């Protein structure tokens, strides 16, 4: 079962990296959180019964683990100490404008609460309110209200339009 | 900037970032094997250590009653009331542990990170509150056993002094007796207060801020 688990996680590990990149502001925290999410996924794997999509289940466990992560809170991350190099895009099609947007986005996200971070992550991943509600287990209405507040906060900090 | 631009910038960044941090299957397997303990596992470990301490204490009290004290008393019979009191202490310790085990298992039963967020937060807060209650209870029992041992030691000492001078307890120097008892009680109170506040400080330092943040997140979810 471990082999099967590792294979399926390896194929879907992007989800864990995305959650880690939203919740962590240093490589060390990121490694710790990745390991913790992996452990929680392994523990819960036996109870996964294909009632939802595998990615939905994976997002759920990863986000829950990130929000309730003990180490993360214990260290009290300094929201200003975002490691700039961690957001640099190592891409052949390097675009300074995109780089700037990502930096701004990371800074704005760092100001959000744990729940808001999860909603904004899923929103950026193009999930609709129904899917966000399914992953987080909160009501669609609550997601809608929260998303409006988040957009308002992002607008203030990043000068974005609808 | 438009929200849609933000989404595409995010997509570009997140896919680059994911490939930069990509791990192969053997890395993942190693990570699973070498993983550090999560919060609940740490609490489990602390409870196991607590259990070992309780077992060791119970064994020590039993050993003390039937081996150490009779040896130190040099053939003098240990009064039945002292054996009874020590027996009650052991019973309290064993009974408390059984209660701890049941209460903690019940609190933990419901916990899984694959539940919805609200459920996970509620379970974690409940587990930590149960653990805190059990922690203080265990601390209280240890302090109570300390007090019982202090008073049995004091009374045994008085009886031994009276028998050494071949006088009745009433004929001992009352002022000296009171002075010594008062000094002993002051030391006992200082020791108990120190232990209590030290453990309470330690618990709050470890879990205090964490529980507050979990509760705040839960409150935000219930808005």
C-alpha span between B82 and B21 (Å, rounded) = 66
pLDDT at A86 (0 to 100): 47
Residues 7-36 of A with CB under 8 A from B: 7, 9-10, 13-14, 17-18, 20-21, 30, 32, 34-36
Report the range of poorest mean pLDDT among A57-71, A73-87, A101-115, B20-34. Answer: A73-87
Position B75 confidence tier, pLDDT thresholds 50, 70, 90: low
The DSSP line for B192-210 is HHHHHHHHHHHHIIIIIHH
Look at chain B and count its residues. Answer: 223
C-alpha span between A23 and A30 (Å, rounded) = 8
Position A92 confidence tier, pLDDT thresholds 50, 70, 90: low
Q: What pairs with residue A161 in β-bridges?
A: B2
Highest averaged pLDDT of the listed ranges A95-109, B11-25, B100-114, B147-161: B11-25
Q: Which two tokens stand for residue A34?
A: 């990745």
pLDDT at A71 (0 to 100): 60
Q: A89 to chain B: which residues are within 8 Å by CB? A: 12-13, 16
Q: Which two tokens stand for residue B70?
A: 């009779």
A103 reaches B (C-beta below 8 A): no
- Quote the minimal CA–CA distance from A39 to chain B in Å: 6
* Number of CB atoms found within 10 A of residue A156's CB: 11
B144 reaches A (C-beta below 8 A): no
- Quote the minimal CA–CA distance from A146 to chain B in Å: 10
Highest averaged pLDDT of the listed ranges A11-20, A65-74, B123-132, B179-188: A11-20
Q: Which two tokens stand for residue A121?
A: 């992550």
Instruction: Give a three-class secondary structure readout of A13-65.
Output: HHHHHHHHHHHCCCHHHHHHHHHHHHHHHHHHHCCCCCCCCHHHHHHHHHHHH
The DSSP line for B96-132 is HHHHHHHHHHHHHHT--TTS-HHHHHHHHHHHHHHHH
C-alpha span between B173 and A64 (Å, rounded) = 68
The pLDDT of B79-100, averaged and rounded, is 78
Q: Which two tokens stand for residue A160?
A: 């974005």
In chain A, the residue whose alpha carbon lies closest to the alpha carbon of B19 is A14
CA angle, B188 then B189 then B192, to 5°: 85
Question: For residue range A30-83, what is the model confidence (pLDDT) as tens digits?
Answer: 888 999 999 999 988 888 877 778 888 999 999 999 998 876 444 444 444 444
pLDDT at B90 (0 to 100): 76
Q: B126 to chain A: which residues are within 8 Å by CB? A: none
A27, B114, A151, A106: CA torsion to nearest 10:
0
A143 reaches B (C-beta below 8 A): no
CB-nearest to B120 from A30, A64, A89 is A64
- Quote the minimal CA–CA distance from B106 to chain A in Å: 19
Q: B26 or B38, which is more confident?
A: B26
Query: Of B147, B29, B39, B41, which Cα lies nearest the Cα of B85?
Result: B147
Q: B3 to chain A: which residues are within 8 Å by CB? A: 151, 160-162
Position A17 confidence tier, pLDDT thresholds 50, 70, 90: very high
Asked if residue B85 has pLDDT above 80, the reply is no
| Average pLDDT over all residues of chain B | 81
Position A1 confidence tier, pLDDT thresholds 50, 70, 90: confident
- Quote the minimal CA–CA distance from A159 to chain B in Å: 7
- Quote the minimal CA–CA distance from A161 to chain B in Å: 5
CB-nearest to A87 from B13, B18, B35 is B13
Asked if residue A27 has pLDDT above 50, the reply is yes
pLDDT at B52 (0 to 100): 82
CB-nearest to B12 from A98, A137, A142 is A98
The pLDDT of B188-196, averaged and rounded, is 88
pLDDT at A72 (0 to 100): 43
Q: Which two tokens stand for residue B182?
A: 């008062």
Q: A42 to chain B: which residues are within 8 Å by CB? A: 32
Up-side HSE of residue B192: CA atoms within 13 Å toward CB?
A: 17
The pLDDT of B19-28, averaged and rounded, is 87
- Quote the minimal CA–CA distance from A79 to chain B in Å: 16
- Quote the minimal CA–CA distance from B49 to chain A in Å: 20
Residue B161's SS3 state is helix
Contact residues for B172 (Cβ-Cβ < 8 A; gap 6+): B158, B161, B162, B165
Q: What percent of chain B clears pLDDT 90, i.e. is strictly above it?
A: 3
C-alpha span between A55 and A51 (Å, rounded) = 12
Q: B6 to chain A: which residues are within 8 Å by CB? A: 101, 105, 124, 154, 158, 160
The pLDDT of A115-137, averaged and rounded, is 90
CB-nearest to A21 from B14, B24, B213 is B14
pLDDT at A161 (0 to 100): 59
A42 reaches B (C-beta below 8 A): yes
Position A16 confidence tier, pLDDT thresholds 50, 70, 90: very high
A54 reaches B (C-beta below 8 A): no
The pLDDT of A103-124, averaged and rounded, is 88
A50 reaches B (C-beta below 8 A): no
Report the range of poorest mean pLDDT among A2-16, A54-68, A89-103, A111-125. Answer: A89-103
């Amino acid at each position: 079962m471990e082999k099967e688990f590792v294979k399926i996680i390896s194929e879907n590990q992007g989800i864990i990296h995305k959650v880690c990149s939203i919740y962590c502001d240093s490589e060390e925290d990121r490694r710790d959180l990745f390991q913790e999410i992996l452990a929680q996924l392994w523990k819960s794997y036996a109870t996964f019964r294909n009632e939802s999509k595998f990615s939905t289940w994976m997002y759920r466990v990863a986000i829950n683990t990130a929000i309730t992560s003990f180490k993360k809170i214990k260290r009290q991350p300094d929201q200003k100490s975002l490691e700039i190099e961690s957001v640099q895009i190592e891409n052949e099609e390097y675009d300074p404008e995109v780089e700037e947007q990502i930096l701004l986005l990371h800074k704005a996200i760092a100001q959000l609460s744990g729940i808001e971070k999860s909603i904004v992550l899923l929103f950026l991943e193009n999930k609709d309110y129904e899917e966000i509600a399914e992953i987080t287990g909160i009501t669609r209405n609550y997601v809608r209200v929260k998303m409006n507040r988040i957009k308002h906060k992002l607008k203030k900090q990043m000068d974005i339009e609808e | 900037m438009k929200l849609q631009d933000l989404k595409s910038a995010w997509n570009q960044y997140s896919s680059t970032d994911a490939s930069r941090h990509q791990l192969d299957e053997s890395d993942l397997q190693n990570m699973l094997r070498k993983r550090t303990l999560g919060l609940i596992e740490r609490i489990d470990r602390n409870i196991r250590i607590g259990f070992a301490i309780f077992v060791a204490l119970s064994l020590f009290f039993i050993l003390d009653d039937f081996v150490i004290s009779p040896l130190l008393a040099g053939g003098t019979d240990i009064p039945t009331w002292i054996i009874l009191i020590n027996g009650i202490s052991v019973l309290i310790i064993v009974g408390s542990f059984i209660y701890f085990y049941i209460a903690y298992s019940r609190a933990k039963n419901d916990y899984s990170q694959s539940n919805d967020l609200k459920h996970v937060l509620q379970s974690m807060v409940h587990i930590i509150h149960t653990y805190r209650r059990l922690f203080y209870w265990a601390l209280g029992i240890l302090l109570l056993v300390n007090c019982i041992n202090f008073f049995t030691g004091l009374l045994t000492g008085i009886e031994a002094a009276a028998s050494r001078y071949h006088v009745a307890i009433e004929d001992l120097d009352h002022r000296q007796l009171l002075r010594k008892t008062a000094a002993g009680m002051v030391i006992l109170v200082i020791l108990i207060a120190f232990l209590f506040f030290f453990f309470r400080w330690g618990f709050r330092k470890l879990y205090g801020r964490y529980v507050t943040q979990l509760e705040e997140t839960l409150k935000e979810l219930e808005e």
